[in-house]
């Protein structure tokens, strides 16, 4: 992030709060005199082999290129039993991004931030209306970690990739502008109401999948961003809830192209969905069409409830 963006991150050093990696640390804001005395925090060895553990519970890949674009990665919700799956996602992102000249900073959520006592051991992010107020403190810590990496990487663009639970937090970051980014990719997540741009409406890529339980949320986010005239792209693929290489490559391509192009992109990004996008209902549609839509919605209430419950579970 160049210019004013770099200054904004530097300014955050004066009031940053330290995140404790194993517990939910942000319930009560610290008094101002203590904030300036806090440091970034410990190095936490949770990284895949391709990444270096850095202060602030981060994992970092340096592409050996001064001023490289930095991809900040927010993982999905996972438990101690699912560490291998998360490290695989982290590892693939690191390899694919570095091969294309990107730096990567993977940040770590905290245990205790998920909704529900049954998720107490899961690492999560603020991701819904119930814990959205925690977002500012998490974002402050993230901004300091980014600024720390930028000291050795040099000034450049900062972009954000959020997957699943981390994707909901990425939506929260984007709509509240909790941290300034140059472009954002949200993969297999959805909106955190209300969907309004507090600051800049940065270019956004939405990635969904035909058989993903979060697909209705992604479609709703697409509709809400369109309503707000927010520059964004929606792409879809076959399959379910995952972060395969195709998703990662699509995000990296989006980050590259938005560095030199404005939206809409021409030619557009590739999509692999076998299902046509269903447009949102027209407010001026006749009463019969609305009645049919309502009847269909009622007939599918149980299926929708199950899908929403599955999607919400990862929030």
Q: Which residues in the chain land under pLDDT 50? A: 1-38, 282-313
Tell me which residue of 187, 160, 189 sits closest to 245, measured CA to CA: 187
Q: Can you read off the two tokens belonging to residue 287?
A: 């009463």
Contact 32, 15 (CB under 8 A): yes
**pLDDT at position 248:** 98
Instruction: For residue 86, count CB atoms less than 10 angstroms from its CB and return exposed for 0-12, middle for 13-18, buried for 19 or more.
Output: buried
pLDDT in tens, 224-238: 999 999 999 999 999
Question: Phi and psi at residue 15, in whole multiples of 5°?
Answer: -140, 25
List the Cα angle 259/235/242 in 5-degree steps. Answer: 105
- The CA distances from residue 75 to 14, 82, 182, 263, in Å, are 27, 12, 19, 26
Q: Look at residue 173 in the predicted model and tell me its pLDDT.
A: 95
What does the pLDDT read at residue 130? Answer: 86
Distance CA 284, CA 290 (A): 10
Report pLDDT for 80: 92
pTM value? 0.78
Read off the pLDDT of residues 52-103 as tens digits, 9 standing for 90 and up.
998 888 999 999 999 999 999 999 999 999 999 999 999 999 999 999 999 9
**Apex CA 153: angle with CA 150 and CA 156, to 5°?**
70
Report the pLDDT value the prediction gives residue 291, as an integer from 0 to 100: 41
For position 45, what pLDDT does the model report? 65
- pLDDT at position 143 is 92
**pLDDT score recorded for residue 40:** 57
Q: How far apart are CA 106 and CA 256, in angstroms?
A: 19
């Amino acid at each position: 992030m160049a210019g004013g963006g770099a200054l904004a991150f530097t300014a955050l050093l004066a009031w940053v709060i330290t995140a404790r990696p194993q517990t939910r640390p942000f319930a009560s804001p610290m008094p101002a005199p203590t904030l300036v005395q806090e440091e970034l925090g410990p190095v936490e060895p949770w990284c895949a082999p391709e990444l270096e553990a850095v202060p602030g519970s981060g994992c970092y890949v340096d592409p050996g290129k001064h001023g490289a674009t930095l991809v900040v990665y927010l993982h999905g919700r996972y438990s101690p039993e699912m560490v291998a799956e998360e490290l695989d996602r982290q590892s693939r992102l690191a390899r694919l991004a570095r091969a294309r000249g990107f730096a990567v900073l993977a940040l770590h959520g905290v245990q205790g931030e998920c909704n529900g006592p049954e998720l107490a051991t899961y690492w999560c992010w603020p991701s819904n209306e119930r814990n959205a107020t925690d977002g500012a403190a998490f974002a402050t810590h993230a901004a300091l970690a980014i600024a720390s990496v930028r000291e050795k990487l040099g000034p450049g663009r900062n972009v954000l990739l959020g997957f699943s639970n981390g994707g909901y937090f990425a939506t929260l970051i984007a709509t509240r502008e909790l941290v300034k980014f140059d472009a954002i990719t949200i993969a297999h997540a959805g909106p955190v109401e209300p969907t309004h741009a507090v600051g800049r409406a940065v270019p956004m890529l939405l990635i969904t999948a035909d058989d993903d339980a979060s697909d209705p949320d992604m479609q709703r986010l697409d509709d809400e961003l369109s309503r707000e005239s927010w520059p964004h792209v929606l792409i879809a693929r076959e399959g379910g809830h995952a972060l395969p290489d195709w998703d990662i490559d699509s995000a990296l391509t989006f980050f590259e192209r938005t560095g030199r192009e404005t939206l809409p992109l021409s030619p557009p990004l590739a999509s692999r969905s076998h299902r046509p996008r269903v447009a949102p209902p027209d407010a001026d549609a006749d009463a019969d069409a609305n009645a049919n839509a309502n009847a269909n919605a009622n007939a599918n209430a149980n299926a929708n409830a199950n899908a929403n419950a599955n999607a919400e579970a990862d929030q």
